[in-house]
Amino acid sequence: LTKGKLTLLCDAKTDGSFLVHHFLSFYLKANCKVCFVALIQSFSHYNIVGQKLGVSLTTARERGQLVFLEGLKSSVDVFFRSQEEPHPLQFLREANTGNLQPLFEFVREALKPGDNAEAAWRCPVLLVDDLSVLLSLGVGAVAVLDFIHYCRATVCCELKGNIVTLVHDSGDAEDEENDVLLNGLSHQSHLILRAEGLATGFCRDVHGQLRILWRRPSQLTAQRDRSLTYQYKIQDKSVSFFAKGMSPAVL
């Protein structure tokens, strides 16, 4: 299990959420302490998919292994509590929406080493699904990159843990904020998984292709980044990967 890494999940013209579910189940099975900032779906949605992949989010949350921030519910709570009470999504009720410090404080508190009761957990992991939502809520790309910078300093460097986050690639040349966010994260990432829809359109037996790029962001070496491309098909409880043009349906 590698530590101190930032993994960027990116999807373009397809739904890359299957990658989020994979990493969530992987780290829970690996006995890691996970802080999941879920801004897209409800807890029950992730739990149902998790059960298909062999993990129970309910059990993980009850035993303290999983700290789950349910953005859909929490966004409503922000407006019905007093201003004095801190909330991870406090920026929603502020005129200046660039302040993500309460969200960072939530992550740091969730993953900080505790008493001996937590000694059993392996490395801490921050999972975010997905950062593009923050842009849609009015937060600037620079503020989101600052948030990830502070999380990297704490989770990756200080606590020797990992960060996995999803960002959408809208493919819109005029969406400068999203481009700034995507480029900024790409330069910091050690691993980039980019799910793309097929250029030829919908296919029943091939749902898309996955580009895998291993990067060395902090090493000034002559070694080049490595990349591979696979095609994939999402099934009920798993994902099948195969080389381009090697789908069982074709063969």
Q: How many CB atoms lie within 10 A of CB 50?
A: 20
pLDDT tens-digit profile of 136-186? 888 999 999 999 999 999 999 999 999 999 999 987 777 899 999 999 999
Whole-number pLDDT of residue 220? 56
Element of type H or E holding 59:
helix 57-62
Q: pLDDT for 45-55, tens place per residue?
A: 999 999 999 99
- Residue pair 20/9 in contact by the 8 Å Cβ criterion: yes
Quick check: helix, strand or coil at residue 27?
Answer: helix
Closest CA to 151 of 166, 161, 141, 140: 161
Residue 120, SS3 per DSSP: coil
pLDDT lower than 70: segments of the chain = 82-85, 95-97, 115-119, 217-224, 247-251
Instruction: Give a three-class secondary structure readout of 174-219.
Output: CCHHHHHHHHHHHHHCCEEEEEECCCCCCCCCCCEEEEEEECCCCC
Task: Give the model's pLDDT for residue 251.
Answer: 47
Measured CA to CA, the distance from residue 89 to residue 130 in angstroms comes to 14
